[in-house]
Amino acid sequence: MANTRRGDEWRDALLTCAQMGRADRWTIDNAYASGIALMDHAGAAVAHLVLERYGDAARVLVLCGPGNNGGDGYVTAQLLREAGMPVTLHAFGAPRPGSDAAIAAGRCMVLAESPDLFDPTSEDVVIDALFGAGLTRELPDDVAAALAKARDAGSRIIAVDLPSGVNGDSGADLGGAVAADSTVTFFRKKPGHLLYPGRALCGEIIVADIGVRAEVFGDDPPSIFENGPALWADALPRADAAWHKYARGHAAVFSGGRHATGAARLSAMAAQRAGAGAVTILGQPDALDIHAARVTSIMLRACRPDDAYDRLKELKGCRGCVLGPGFGDLSTARLVALSLLEERHETGLQLVLDADGITAFAGDHAALFDAAKGSGAPALVLTPHEGEFARLFPDLAEAEKLSKLDKALEAASRANAVVLYKGPDTVIAAPDGRAAINSNATPALATAGSGDVLAGVIAGLLAQGMPCFEAACAAAWLHGEAGRAAGPLAVAEDLVSEIAPVLGPMLT
């Protein structure tokens, strides 16, 4: 995996709990900051948020666990007391003697009260400094009861690092987690901040600089990212004045039968709006008659089930193909997909396999994976939603101990494909171990045809020469921004219309 960015540029990196621990340790071992200094800075960031946004609180009730998360809470309580806020502190276990948390507790002049005396109201702010991101077990009963009491009382809740009970690597609710209004985390986000249900439990996420050094990435470059333009903007295709339409990029979309043409048309229009210079829909003549009445600048080419792949290969300059939306004919989908992948080194074609294209390999995924294997960059992008993912990767879908991120990465490795695992927390994973988690999706995307638009945008970018991983990441982000621009009642056609206004300014 190529890496030319400096450490301070990895703002989009997501760190696992283990990586965050190593970053802390590297900073301390290289004498940039002591452990207690990092804790002081973390507590100060939480206190600043309280004073800035929650200064109207009747009281601040700080719940401290026995570890470093609790240590951050002790610092927060002391700083708020010094600022004149009414503060009460409840300790759920004593810090280990000699630890940074014990030092912070020893310096805190707010008397620790028994958890039994915790009595939140709707006028209070509750600081959840109980357990950090690395928790791997269900919350203790007394902790879960206290958090539930705060929720039921209507208190505003601020979580330190992550809401207690949420796993930082997977976003899983281990039992007893309560939604926060705001979460203050440190240095970089973790996957659990973006993966559901963790994302829904975090509320607003504030990332605070506490002195952990970004130079750590020079020794341990990240491979997991929050999806955004910093990850792929440099790879966006930019027009050359000498280009003609085929040099700019030619994308193809296979159509379903005459009663199922809409999905392919959405993909084709999306590919065009993503910048492809030419787009062709391939289908049987009766289906093309329907398309001809509804499109103008999109080309049409007739094919039959037994010559569909041959007609695809004949398309001048074609580099990206969508197969699956509304397609219906599973046997032809298998034939086209396998033929394309087996000859990809000769043709240069890259395949976006969606919907029926994925279903065509249910029960025989090995044939698809074998055809996609080989040297060089992947030429296959899979775009499954949860049900389609289970058809290709049934064992991964049922693996409860694996996060969505883990599943997508393992799937990408098996299939030698870029896997775009759809959902409100879409994960894009590459065979080389890179992955991105999308965070800009809106409910507007939950509409019929939305996935067809996404597949078309990917193909349109592939047709212009963008690598598979970057194209899939860019398409997922553009899709989310188009949904945001189109509004809460958007339909798929509205998403298509918003692709160019979102993408265009990025190319100037």
Are 174 and 166 contacting, i.e. CB atoms less than 8 angstroms apart?
yes
Q: What number of residues does the chain have?
A: 508
CA dihedral sign, ordered 301, 307, 309, 311: negative
Whether the pTM exceeds 0.85: the reply is yes
Predicted local distance difference test score (pLDDT) of residue 1: 43
Give the single-character DSSP code of 387. H
pLDDT digits (tens, 9 = 90+) for 129-139: 999 887 888 99
Cβ-Cβ contacts under 8 Å for 138 (sequence gap 6 or more): 144, 165, 174, 175, 176
Domain ranges of the chain: 9-221, 229-507
Predicted local distance difference test score (pLDDT) of residue 2: 45
Mean pLDDT, residues 319-332 taken together: 98
CA atoms of 119 and 59, how far apart (whole Å): 11
Cβ-Cβ contacts under 8 Å for 120 (sequence gap 6 or more): 61, 126, 149, 150, 153, 155
Q: 311 in helix, strand or coil?
A: helix
pLDDT digits (tens, 9 = 90+) for 238-266: 877 666 677 689 999 999 999 999 999 99
Structure-token pair, residue 506: 């990025």
Of 112, 114, 130, whose CA–CA distance to 178 is shortest? 130
Pairing of strands 87-91, 60-64: parallel
Predicted local distance difference test score (pLDDT) of residue 243: 63
Of 250, 272, 271, whose CA–CA distance to 317 is shortest? 250
Cβ-Cβ contacts under 8 Å for 27 (sequence gap 6 or more): 33, 38, 211, 212, 213, 216
CA–CA–CA angle 182, 186, 191 (5° rounding)? 80
Whether the per-residue pLDDT at 4 is higher than 50: the answer is: no
CATH class of the 9-221 domain in this structure: alpha beta
pLDDT digits (tens, 9 = 90+) for 269-317: 999 999 999 999 999 999 999 999 999 999 999 999 999 999 999 999 9
Predicted local distance difference test score (pLDDT) of residue 136: 86
Mean pLDDT, residues 407-411 taken together: 98
Predicted local distance difference test score (pLDDT) of residue 5: 53
Instruction: Give the pLDDT band (50/70/90) at residue 3.
Output: very low
CATH class of the 229-507 domain in this structure: alpha beta
Of 323, 327, 345, 320, whose CA–CA distance to 336 is shortest? 323
Neighbours of 29 (CB within 10 A): 9
Predicted local distance difference test score (pLDDT) of residue 294: 96
CA atoms of 65 and 136, how far apart (whole Å): 15
pLDDT digits (tens, 9 = 90+) for 343-390: 999 999 999 999 999 999 999 999 999 999 987 789 999 999 999 999
Whether the per-residue pLDDT at 86 is higher than 60: the answer is: yes
Are 427 and 441 contacting, i.e. CB atoms less than 8 angstroms apart?
no
Are 324 and 355 contacting, i.e. CB atoms less than 8 angstroms apart?
yes
CA atoms of 173 and 162, how far apart (whole Å): 11
Are 133 and 167 contacting, i.e. CB atoms less than 8 angstroms apart?
yes
Mean pLDDT, residues 103-121 taken together: 97
